[in-house]
Amino acid sequence: MDTVKILVVDDEDRMRKLVRDFLTREGYMVLEASNGEEAVDLFFSQKDIALLLLDVMMPKMDGWQVVREIRQYSKVPIIMLTARGDERDELMGFDLGVDEYISKPFSPKILVARVNAVLRRSGAASQDEVLEAGGIVVDKAAHQVTIDGKPVELSFKEFELLTYFVENQGIALSREKILNAVWNYDYYGDARTIDTHVKKLRSKMGSKGELIRTIWGMGYKFDPTGAK
């Protein structure tokens, strides 16, 4: 099996070295960039980078712009690293298609755990299963969704969220359960993270978005029967 490549982008040499050392011990191949422009050039020249660890505040091109550039062509998983604790930044990141969001300072062991979790979800070898419910077809191997035969473009996190709903159809799911299953770690934010993703997912699903029902005071339930 080929070594998995991770691109670490941060203008602080010390931070890049810290992250590189921990990821290298896990067996990953780590590439480095010190600014956004270098990161974009490196990403498109390499072609086979499996994940980006991306700082927000950088010279030449900030993290947000890097995400915008890459998301035009790729759904590669992206974990944002930031010194900010502003909720608006986090919501912006998810809106742009960021998969995880980690505030500095962080535990390198926790960072590695999240990297492992994201890569596990994005490249699990056993994902040859096709799920079908209510006119929705989720092809886990191809990472594709069709609704009534028409393809639907979803971000990595939206795909994971819809897959979880379809796999647990008819079951009322709390926000805590959804966070633990889809984000795969204990998340100490508020419910808006999930609500934002569900809102975008429903919008992309058109009329089928109504199959994701809100359970007030609890969470959500995917109901392919359409029954209230």
0.75 exceeded by pTM: no
Average pLDDT, the chain: 84
Q: Name the strand (E) or helix (H) holding 213.
A: strand 212-215
At 167, list the tokens. 């796999």
Question: Does the pLDDT value for residue 39 go beyond 70?
Answer: yes
The CATH number of the domain covering residues in 130-222: 1.10.10.10
Q: What percent of the chain lies above the pLDDT cut of 90? A: 40
Whole-number Å distance between alpha carbons of 117 and 228: 35
Of 44-48, 195-199, 206-210, 216-220, least confident by mean pLDDT is: 44-48
Kindly state the average pLDDT of the residues 87-97.
70
Task: Write the CA distances from 162 to 28, 156, 159, integer angstroms.
Answer: 29, 10, 5
Class of domain 5-123: alpha beta
Residue bearing the bigger pLDDT, 122 or 160: 160
In sequence order, the 6+-apart residues with CB closer than 8 A to the CB of 71 are 96, 97
Looking up tokens 């009322």 gives 172
Question: Angle, to 10 degrees, between the axis of helix 87-96 and the axis of helix 63-71?
Answer: 20
Report the pLDDT value the prediction gives residue 186, as an integer from 0 to 100.
Answer: 47
Please list the residues that pair with 220 across neighbouring strands.
Answer: 173, 214
Whole-number Å distance between alpha carbons of 140 and 83: 34
Of 49-58, 115-124, 190-199, least confident by mean pLDDT is: 115-124
Whole-number Å distance between alpha carbons of 167 and 164: 5
Residue bearing the bigger pLDDT, 12 or 190: 12
Question: What's phi and psi for 198, nearest 5 deg?
Answer: -65, -40
Report the pLDDT value the prediction gives residue 154, as an integer from 0 to 100.
Answer: 92
pLDDT grade for 95, boundaries at 50, 70 and 90: confident
Q: 43 by DSSP, 3-state: which?
A: helix
Whole-number Å distance between alpha carbons of 21 and 137: 41
Domain boundaries, the chain: 5-123, 130-222
